[in-house]
Every structure is written in structure tokens, then in C-alpha cells.
Structure 1
């Protein structure tokens, strides 16, 4: 079902943030006290700060509750997801993807191993294992590592000291169309002095059908276990030791291989001490170890089909080891000046092994071959200066020393051919500066908040940009210059009675933007030319905004609406910047009673004809223009008891056939129709049961 473009004019020019109502505290359903249910989240909860979005990781949401990190973020205005199958999509925020968007799991950096981004960091995120997700828009902080030109996403667990001895927890199960079945359990037990926490998740689904009834190669199975033990002898001290393990498998509709192992191991130690002296407000020390072992092949999750590029059963097995830490000190230099200074460091090593004929030479017996090492050491400080009771100035700066080594002996120029690497064993060092300054104020005696910030970040290019691709003039892109983003951010939020409106806008200039271009023609001796994938630097600019509102229209009725827009230009080539999502709007209506609620959501996405075919990022390149579409969904929630809630919904109610503009091209798979892009699921029914104890 198509929504005419003119209908967009009827949607308020705002972006919806679905705010949670207060937690109910009734003793039973016969109480005269009203029971206000948490509405199903259709975008994101409202925030006091327009550039900060905070989400409850355990709240029910529409579309169907998320099973990985990208799935979780796609409901937030400004985010899109590059679909490759049923899971492990790559998030895009304001048209930026990859390492331009920093992601941390309880402060830990997770980096994938696959050279074709089969396992982005969000593939190792299990949202049900966390309590809160915080999104910081733009280069408006220096506290969470380098390179956050698009923003920062923090998945966080509750680490507060227990008020009293006891056991508490949360159980969730979700069932849905196409074989979807999730289980998640999270329990905390202990005393005010010591507690332990265990979170376990399991999610699976089969192939889904798009709106035309075509089956999409998308089945997956994922599981995780997170455990933590903390010593909290008083309100100001915490020593925590944690570990995590996860694995899974996933079929992909856009490529010749599937992911059959996504093994992640994590160990971390975190110490924090508060209220040390009038000058030192806190200190913290963190250390983390992450190891990712990823296996992909062309036969385990699909019928093996010989091809010219892969005539035999083939396997690729990259791995990545990341070790890092951080030390911070909080300071209060005066009643109006406070801040945090710190140091962070990281080393990650990438290696790979594989087999072009698994039957004759199993990959398991072959040695791993290291191909890259990255080292980073950063010093930073972030400060807040109170100018008055209503206004403050926030600023920060960091300097990062980067060192990288290209450990490849040869560079593959085809599936069967390799050539000597011109930067074999080469090393490079860069000192990169980042910083920002932001003014925040409340306007008069109103509830309006305003901020304006200018940020600059210099990003060292990642493995995919430097090691995976060639450059326009060499077989190696290892010497490609760092990327430099200078961005102006503006935001305002205000309440007009029962209407709350929030705006965040940005405009930037990106020097040496790392553009990934496929089909780039390069000389090939007697063969003339060959087409390859290169990383090349350009000058670019992007600008856009997210506008939001929620309005309590009557006692039981609430309207939420959202609008997100971004536009980009490749100034070097004088053409549109690739992989920019189109205009998107959402309109949600919720009716809430004492113990039940019901809602409807329409998501409209405009057409996109500003494309640069063959250009893009480390995840994908533009395929061509895309059409507009509209998707209708409905949901309902019933609080059976105080600690028991049932939520159900239907996504894509009218079985619309559509694909996201930024999604990957559909691959040629035996038994599956090939599509221009990987299409989204058709009509999907789901139900979720939450139990708290």
C-alpha cells in the first residue's frame, strides 16, 4: 500500500518521541488508582537534552522487539539500517556508518572481524541483556573514545549499589511470524555490600517472506550470557568483575557466504570511587579484553552451488583481539567549574585464515595469518562551566596517538590471484586532535532548553578502509589520510502545555572523507583494466535535522510524531554523497486505560533519487534510486498483574513490499528470487510476555 507524498503534509512537522509513563504501583486491579501502562515505544523516549536520547532497553517496542543492536536502533529518528538478512544489520546515523559511530557495551569496545562487515559491532549486541541505551548525537563529547564524528551509542547495565538484600529480575519471551522465538532472563542477587548479576538471551528465526510472498534467506540463531560480580562496601565505592560469552549463526541474502560462528569472549574489571575530596569528585579504572572469532562459509546454511568464483566448499575465518583500558579523574575546581580528565588506550590485532577447498584442506588445520595491528593512546578532558543558574558552557579536547602496521605480505586482486603488497610491514603514526564547545541554557523562566555546539574530530581510518581495500593509485590503501569533520549542532526543546517539541539540527564539513567506491577501473597490464574496490578521499558536507513532538490530546490519548532528514554532497566529484537515507516520518497514536493500551503507527519514507551509484561506505554502495513507501503497524498491551505484562502487535499490517534505500543488493541464491535490494519482512505478527520479580 502506497502513501501519497501529499499525506506527509498532514503529519505535523515534528519527530515523535514516545515517552514512558510513570511506573504503576497498584496493589490490584480493583484499586481506584489509575494504572498507567508503559506505552509501546515507536521511536524513542523524550529527553531533556535535544542531542541526547535515552532508551529503556527492556521496554516493548514496535516494530517487533529487537534481537540485535541495529534492530534496536532503527526505531530512533535519524537511524537507518543496512539490511543483509534477518540479523546483523549495520546502523547508519545521519547518513554516517562504520567507525564514524562509536558503540560501547558497558564501556567495552567491540570490533568485528569480517572483511565484508558480516559481523559489525551491533552483531555482538543483545539488547535484552542491558538496561539502558544512551545516544549522544554529533561530536559533542570526548569521553567515550576517538572518532565519534556521527555520535556515540552506549549500551549499559544497571550497576547501582543495592538498597537492601534480595533477589530481583526480569523474564521475557517473544514469539512471532517466520519462526521467531526469543527468551531472555536477567537476575540480580545480593546485599548492599555485594551483588551478582546474570543475564542470558537466546533468539532465533527462520527465513522470512517479503510483502510479495518471496522467501528471503534470513534464518538465524543467536545466544549470549553476561555475568558480573560487584563489591560495593558503601555508596561511593564499586569494584566489578564481569565476563560475557556469545555465539550464533546467520544466513545472508546479499552474498555468497553465510556466518556460521560469531564467537565473542569478553572479560572486564571496573573500579570506581566517588566523593574523594572537595577537589577530586571521583576516580575510575577500567580494563577490558575482547576476542571475536568469526567463521563464514558457502555450504552450512545453504545448498552448496559451485560458481566460477567459488567452485569448491569455501571458508573464511577472521578473528580480532582487542585489549584496552581507561582511567579517569573527576575534578571540581570551583563551585561553578567541574570536569573529567582521563586517559584511554587500545590495541587490536586482526588475523585471518581460510580454505578455498574445505574438503581437501580444512581451514582448521591452517595457521592464522596476521594482517593488521592498530594501537591508540588518548588523553582527554571535558569541562562544564556554570555561567548562571540557567546557562552553562561545556567543552572538551582530546589528542590521540595512533600507530598502525600493515602485516600483509600479499594483496588479493581476485579470488584466485594475489600480488605483492606495496606496503608490506609498513607502519604509520598519526597524532589526531578532537574537541568541542557547547553553550546550553534555559530560556527565561520557561521549560525551554537550547544548545548550540561546534565540534571537530579527526578519525583514524579503520581496518576496512585501510586494509580491506585498494587505493586509486596503489594495491594498498594503508597510507590514506585521516578523516576530519567539523560540525555545528543546534538544538531546542520546549513544552507548550500538553505538547512537547524537540529539535536537533546539524551541518558539517568533512575533509578527506573516506569514500569507498566499487567498480573502480584500474590498469591491469595486457588485460586492459580490472574493476576493484578502492578507498579514496574526497571533501564532503552533510546537513539535516530530527524534529520531534508528543502531545497528550485528551485524558487517555497521546499523539507521537517524528521527522528525520539528512542531505549530503560529494564536493570533490560535484555529485550527491552516497548512502544517504531519504526523508522519514512517523506518526503514532496511543490510547491508554488503567490496565491496557492500544496504538497504531504509520512510518512513511520518501523516495531517494540523489544517488551516486557504486559509491558509499565500508558497508555498501548506492545501487540506484529508491521509491517511497508507507508501513502501517498496530499494537496492544495488557498488564495482567502488577508484575506481568502481555504485549502484541502486527508490523506491516498491509503486507507492503519495500526495501530500505541503504540496504544491500539481493544476491543470487539457489531457491530464492533475486531482488534489487534485500526486501524488508512482510506482515509480521508478534507477542511478548514480560515478568518482573
Structure 2
């Protein structure tokens, strides 16, 4: 961090504090009940400092970790589950990234400023958000602007700067219309250089990204809305120190169409029909943004263009029947992934030398229903079930054979009010996830190969949650045990011909604890603790890539227009590992623990203008998350997090 930016931040904070000293104390709202299993928050309130992408933003939620490969592309992990074990839904649409090595997980295409709200549902507690989701569901959502004749427009413009990587973020959210229709445009751009880690070493993490979303809605009847949107996200020159290649570009386009109708009929109180199409084109190579490796005096230039196209939708109906609230419907996903490995010749032409994804098509059609029944005295029973028919085929393999699956998932949750303070939730669930295109058919260099014979994962989970809700103190403690039949495990491949996938029996167990305590009218204490352990039941070893015990302790201050906070993030050493040499696992080492302190402050000059500033990693700690990444050659690497970073954000609303 350069001293001039630290001095600027301190000067702003000092001036703000001096102005507020003379103001009266304004009591802030009491803490809302906290939950260890479901978190919903406005995106701008979830994390004070600017986020590089949606995965970075999600790491602010207790119990959500993430693996880093570069400056962007943080791949979230919930309760030890990752990748397609999580359902990531972007305003109703599913995006499956274009990189087999997950340079671009779905959260890469979520500019944090362009969504109004994010919801994290841990575990399997609903069946209405699509197949799978064995580890949880993340919903990035946008809302209607809520305009009327009194105020037919609204807007927000924001600019942010982070010192370490010299990152600039610019965003705007503009809307115009009335209570019968609207037009909304959201844009965001970011330009980042490499950052320095806590050792002062330069980490290759620069990137450029731009996103634009245009939304239009019309009230076509008294209780019926028709809405459409077009969204485009473009990434350029993204560097990845945790991979053998970088990404010159990665582009995503998403179209959405929604119909929302309400009626007085008890069987069709609300009907929502949603369609979407997402197309992703991704390129990674080893020469345009870095020096290509040399063999026998000749540069070995390689490129890998890929595509991932998804078409889908759902019909969701809400009904009341005999005192039961019911949600039921049908959904469909159709994803096609194709990718090749190319050798760049001396004359600039290319020769295909291998296939990454052989034009894999996975179709999933689901029927689902979920019912709620209140039994009196604050007690609630919720139950759901879904059936998914899965078909998989590929067009670029000579021995193409269609794979069919019939998957059944469901859950039952009993919520019991023990007294005025305590509430207990018990959930028993089964969730099934089919293997994805990479796990089935990847064919990379270094012996990385898929396994078409994989059976789907079958998760059977028991979860108990105790919640305490008082006027000034709320907390939630969740414990879970997840027995997984046919867990899809990626091996390092040192004992075989290369890294691949196999079905094993496994178990995941852990706890999540969250607390909010209003100490005074102006001070609130927050605490979060998360722990998960994974075991391979076939050979009684640890599962790879399981986050360590983590904890967060934060103190937030609010007095009139001034807000400030200090946060301490702690991770224990992760010694429960599966190393390649020991049990053919993907862990790169036993990762040491760390503690990081973050500061933030903000001031609302008036309802229209506000400023925020802070310092992340105050003591310039050198550390990395335990979750490492593997490149196409099977090499593993942990990428260090940024060192001390000062940031400043200005926001104007009208």
C-alpha cells in the first residue's frame, strides 16, 4: 500500500469523526434474527469493501469459503461442497462456465453492483431451485425499481478505488418508469493490475471486466407483469497464477423472459413462468499474456477455445389447499459444452491436438412440489420432493452412448417454537447430483480424464438448528451430518495414469454458528464460526479440499450518519488433508492458520451522497486459503491473498 492513500483515508475519517461529535446519538435498529442455514442481504451491505466478483462477495458470509486462481474467478465452497454441488442462480438463470478448470465459475459473471440482493441457502432445504444443489443454493436477485408518478426515475452512481492492485470500479444503476412499467440499465466496469501479497511479492492477478444489463418490464394487466432482460459480461486479459494458462477473453450473454401473474383462485394464487438462455465463449492460452514454455528451442504455444451454452426455464405455481401452502411446477436445463486443445504453428495457423469437452449435452427435466403446514403455536412442517430425468450424450465421440438417469430428491423440515426465545429446526433430506461434463468427459493434457461411468451423487443429510431470538441478542447454531453414496472424488492420479474421477462413499459433518448482539444503541457485535470435516469412508482418509475451522469477530458502530467497523477473520491450521503422495488427493500441503484484521468507515453526507473507506489486511499478513486450484496438468497451487489494501468508495443517489 502506498502511504499517500493511507493518509487520505485517515484524513477523511478524522474529518467525519470531528463533524459527528457534536451530533445527537441516534439509536440504530435492533439486530434481526440470525440464521446459520439461510442468509439474505442487500449486496451493498454484505461486504463493506469493493468485491472483485460474486465469489469474492460470498466469502463475506459465514460458512462460505472459496478457492482463488487469480484476481477474479473466486470459486465458492459451502459446507465443504463446491462447483456443481452448488446451485448458483443469476436472476433466474443458470450459467455454467466456459473453462473446464473453472477460471470462470458462474459467480465470475455477477458484478456485485448489478444485483439487489443475494440469498445463501446452506444444505438441501428446498426443491424449487433446480436439480442438485447438494451443498446449497445461492440466489443473486434483481427487483423491480418500484417507481410511481411521484418519482418516475431513480439512479445510483458509484466509483471505488483499491490501492494495492490500483483497481478502479465504476458502476451505474439507472431506472425510469411508473407503476405500470419500467426501463432499467445497470453497468459496471473494473480495471485491476497485479496485487502484492503480504510478503511484498507481485502476484499475477490483473484483469479487465465490463458488464451491462438492460431490463424492461410492463404491467400487462392489473396483476400481471411481463419482464425481459439482456445482459452481457466481457472479461479481457485475465491472469491466473494458479494455472498454466491465462484468459485473453471470456464473454457471456444472457437473455431472460419472465411472466408473473397473481389471482384470487386458491390453486393459482401466483404463477411465474421464466425462460433464459446463456452463452459463454472462453479462450485460454499459454502465450499471449505470458511467455510460452520452450521445448528443444521452440516455443510450445497452446490455446484452448471453449463454449458453454445453456437453455432453460421453469413454471412455478403457488397454491393454497386446505390450509396448506404449496409451491409446485416443472423446470428444465439444457447445457452443451464444447472445447478443443490447439497447437499454434509457426505460421500462426492452429492444429487440433486434443479435445477438452467433446460437445457434451446434458438435459435435465424436473417435476417438483413443496408444501408448508402450520400446526399451531408457531410450529411449521415443510416438505418437498422432486424427480429429475437426466439425459447425457456427446457428438464428438465415436462410441457415443446416451446416458439416462432417474433421480429422486426430497426433504422434511420441522420447525418447533420451544418458547418465546428458542426455536428448533430439524431437517432430513436426500439430494441427488448428476456428474457434470468435466467429470464425465474431460480429456486434457497430463492424463486428466473424465469417467463416463460415474453414478450420480446421493446425499442423505440430517440437520439440527437451535435459534435464540431476543430483543438485543440473537444467535443460531446448526449441526449437520451428510452421508454421501457415490461421492464423485477427483484423484491426483499419482498411483495411476493421471488425474481422474471415481465414485466413493463419503461423509461430511460440521457446525455453523452465527451471533448478533446489540451491545448499546450504537454498537453491535457480530460473531460467526464454521467447521466442516470430510471423510472418505472407503479407505478412512480425509477428503481433499475441505476448509479449516474459521471464525469472524466484528464490532460495528453507527451514530447518525457515521458508521465504522473492525473485523477479525481467523482460520485455524488445516491438518486434515489428503496429499497426493499419501492418499492420491488434491491438497497441496497442511495449510497454516492466519488472522486478518479489516477496518471500514462510512459517512452519509445526506440521503444522496455517501463515502466509504477502509483498510483490508491491516497488518499486511501473508496468507492463502487452504483451497488450492489444479491446472490441466494436474499441478496444484495456492494463490496468496492480497496484502494490505486501502480502499475508497463514493456513491451518489438520485
What's the TM-score once normalised by structure 1's chain length? 0.85
**Counterpart position of 1:538:** 504
**Preserved contact between residue 265 and residue 291 of structure 1 (Cα < 8 Å):** yes
**Counterpart position of 2:14:** none
CA distance in 1, matches of 2:86, 2:218: 33
CA distance in 1, matches of 2:295, 2:114: 41
| 1:407 CA drift (Å) | 3.1
**Preserved contact between residue 27 and residue 522 of structure 2 (Cα < 8 Å):** no
Match of 1:562 among 514, 517, 528: 528
**2:146 corresponds to 1:166:** no
Farther-moved stretch of structure 1 (555-564 vs 541-550): 555-564
**Preserved contact between residue 180 and residue 203 of structure 1 (Cα < 8 Å):** yes
Trace 1:260-659 onto structure 2 (pairs within 5 A): 260-307=248-295, 311-334=299-322, 336-357=323-344, 359-362=346-349, 370-409=358-397, 424-444=399-419, 446-468=420-442, 477-522=451-496, 531-614=497-580, 621-659=586-624
**Preserved contact between residue 193 and residue 232 of structure 1 (Cα < 8 Å):** yes
Alpha-carbon distance change, 533 to 502 in structure 1, aligned in 2, over 3 angstroms: same
CA distance in 2, matches of 1:61, 1:396: 33
CA distance in 2, matches of 1:310, 1:546: 53
Specify the SS of the correspondent of 1:660.
Answer: coil
| 1:521 CA drift (Å) | 3.3
Deviation readout 1:57-91 (Å, 9 max, x if unpaired): 123724x3212111010111111110111110211
**Preserved contact between residue 409 and residue 431 of structure 2 (Cα < 8 Å):** yes
| 1:447 CA drift (Å) | 4.3
Give the total of aligned pairs.
627
| 1:169 CA drift (Å) | 1.8
CA distance in 2, matches of 1:624, 1:474: 21
**2:65 corresponds to 1:80:** yes
**Preserved contact between residue 315 and residue 331 of structure 2 (Cα < 8 Å):** yes
CA distance in 2, matches of 1:624, 1:387: 51
**2:230 corresponds to 1:243:** yes
**Counterpart position of 1:692:** 653
Alpha-carbon distance change, 74 to 204 in structure 1, aligned in 2, over 3 angstroms: same
Deviation readout 1:493-547 (Å, 9 max, x if unpaired): 223442211122211100000000112433xxxxxxxx41110111110111111
Farther-moved stretch of structure 1 (367-376 vs 592-601): 367-376
| 1:608 CA drift (Å) | 0.8
**2:205 corresponds to 1:218:** yes
**Preserved contact between residue 37 and residue 639 of structure 1 (Cα < 8 Å):** no
CA distance in 1, matches of 2:169, 2:141: 21
Trace 1:226-237 onto structure 2 (pairs within 5 A): 226-233=213-220, 236-237=223-224
Alpha-carbon distance change, 131 to 358 in structure 1, aligned in 2, over 3 angstroms: farther
Gaps of 5+ in 1: 1-27, 40-44, 410-420, 523-530, 669-673
Deviation readout 1:623-645 (Å, 9 max, x if unpaired): 12011111111111111222211
**Preserved contact between residue 313 and residue 359 of structure 1 (Cα < 8 Å):** no
Match of 1:115 among 100, 120, 128: 100
**Counterpart position of 1:17:** none
CA distance in 2, matches of 1:243, 1:582: 40
CA distance in 1, matches of 2:598, 2:501: 40
Alpha-carbon distance change, 408 to 364 in structure 1, aligned in 2, over 3 angstroms: closer
**2:18 corresponds to 1:57:** no
Match of 1:191 among 160, 178, 182: 178
CA distance in 2, matches of 1:266, 1:290: 4
| 1:279 CA drift (Å) | 2.9
| 1:590 CA drift (Å) | 2.0
Match of 1:146 among 131, 138, 144: 131
**Counterpart position of 2:3:** none
Specify the SS of the correspondent of 2:454.
Answer: coil
**Counterpart position of 2:86:** 101
Gaps of 5+ in 2: 1-18
RMSD (Å) for aligned C-alpha atoms: 2.9
Deviation readout 1:544-575 (Å, 9 max, x if unpaired): 11111121222322211111111111111111
